[in-house]
Amino acid sequence: MRQATQPRALRDPDTQAVIWGELRSAFAVAHRGALKDTRPDDLLVELMNAHQHRHPAYWQSMHTPHDMVVGCAYPEGEQGYNVARTVALGAGLAIPAMTVNRLCGSALEAAAIAASAVSSGRAPAWVVAGVESMSRVPRRGANFSESARICDTAIDTYITMGETAERVAHRYPHLSRTMQEAFAATSHTNAHQAWQHGWYANHVICPPSLTHDESVRYPVNHDKMAALAPAFRDDGVVTAATSSPMSDGASMALVTNESTARTLAIPSFLRILDITTAHVAPDVMGMGPVPAIKALLARNDISMRDIAAVELNEAFAIQVLACIEELSIPPAIVNTWGGAIAIGHPLGASGLRLLMTLHARMNAAGQRNQLGIASLCVGGGQGIAMLCQLVFP
């Protein structure tokens, strides 16, 4: 086991932000899955109600949250009108609320905002959440429009995500289609095994028609995977099988100060030690985690050798493989319970999904005081990464 590392000075327990009480819906296939007829705001209300039922001691205590922030990549239609506030009202929560959009990184950004507020003493307890219905709210929004002026300055501003994956593949030709398919197959296998072992049961709520995340395919049909046509270019290497599926889902957690978590005798929690954002060229947006994680390590005077677990969002197999290579991450510590290729990627909810999987993984492995990282690439050419430490009080 790695020697426990202490990056930067820990804050006082009254201002040290921690995350715990994570809960999410099972993720369903967009347009034809179990949640296609469920409004995203209603889905998040249901999740909030379930959380209150599961954690009555917290919700009935004097430590109840002071504010709420919800991540959503396309906050319009049924997930518009400041969906955070409407959901808070629908769930009977007497708190203010705001919605934040950093596309795929929205829910992780929500956790970062809450952690900053806790650290500053502004509010010691927050609800953080993420939601996305890719069935009911179209990608890029209902009235997407490109600016000719912006395109004159930055031609790839509005590039499609599939095309960015192909451009990453062009930069890393040795990361072949065969390697991408092997990575995708491992994602499905790991997710299936995690569900079979009951590792997701404690923090995932399934609708009556589901027993697990709907996109998980097991056993993997390697022949069918190899026979698929490229999804984004006729001469490309990225297929539907090596891309995250469009999905519906919601996620939530509590961000409080450490004193509150200890007072409530929470069995384990993640200290939120640091978060970074970074940018890359929009046409290789999948590489966003590389500068974000490099900055995270440098700011905390640690290296990848000090990291026990990594959750790296699988927008596409090619970008994860390229990020692993660039960052020299041991593959054995990445997404060991499956990733978005298998689990699904409801954009605004995925950042918290990574954090809760990271917490559960490290908890199951008994990685007391060890460090973990959750990171996502973000459309438009961004990366976001959070450094956490597992604590057993």
Q: 290 lies in a domain? A: yes
318-327: average pLDDT: 98
* CATH label of the domain that carries residue 352: 3.40.47.10
Q: 231 lies in a domain? A: no
pLDDT for position 142? 87
CA 388, chain centre distance (Å): 14
User: Per residue in 131-189, pLDDT tens?
Assistant: 999 999 998 988 899 999 999 999 999 999 999 999 999 999 999 999 999 999 999 99
CA nearest neighbour of 25 among 375, 344, 374, 361: 344
User: Is the pTM higher than 0.85?
Assistant: yes
CA distances from 209 to 40, 132, 193, 213 (A): 18, 19, 20, 11
pLDDT band at 6 (very low <50, low <70, confident <90, very high): low
Q: 222 lies in a domain? A: no
Please tell me whether the peptide bond between 219 and the residue prior to it is cis, using omega within 30 degrees of 0: yes
Q: 56 lies in a domain? A: no
Exposed, middle or buried, 198 (CB in 10 Å: 0-12/13-18/19+)?
Answer: exposed
Exposed, middle or buried, 235 (CB in 10 Å: 0-12/13-18/19+)?
Answer: exposed
Q: 383 lies in a domain? A: yes
Catalytic residue among 63, 72, 104, 323: 104
Angle, alpha carbons 237-243-248 (nearest 5°): 160
Catalytic residue among 203, 345, 359, 388: 345
Q: 248 lies in a domain? A: no
32-55: average pLDDT: 96
Lowest model confidence (mean pLDDT) among 53-67, 115-129, 164-178, 199-213: 53-67
Q: 204 lies in a domain? A: no
pLDDT surpassing 80 at residue 232: yes
DSSP 247: E
Active site residue 72: no
361-368: average pLDDT: 97
- CB 354 within 8 Å of CB 313: yes
Domain count, the chain: 1
pLDDT for position 3? 45
Q: 336 lies in a domain? A: yes
Instruction: Tell me which residue range forms the domain holding 340.
Output: 156-198+273-391
Q: Distance between CA atoms of 328 and 238, rounded to whole angstroms?
A: 23
Catalytic residue among 72, 323, 377, 388: 377
What are 252's two structure tokens? 């939530």
Q: Distance between CA atoms of 349 and 249, rounded to whole angstroms?
A: 7
User: Per residue in 52-69, pLDDT tens?
Assistant: 999 888 888 767 889 999
350-362: average pLDDT: 98
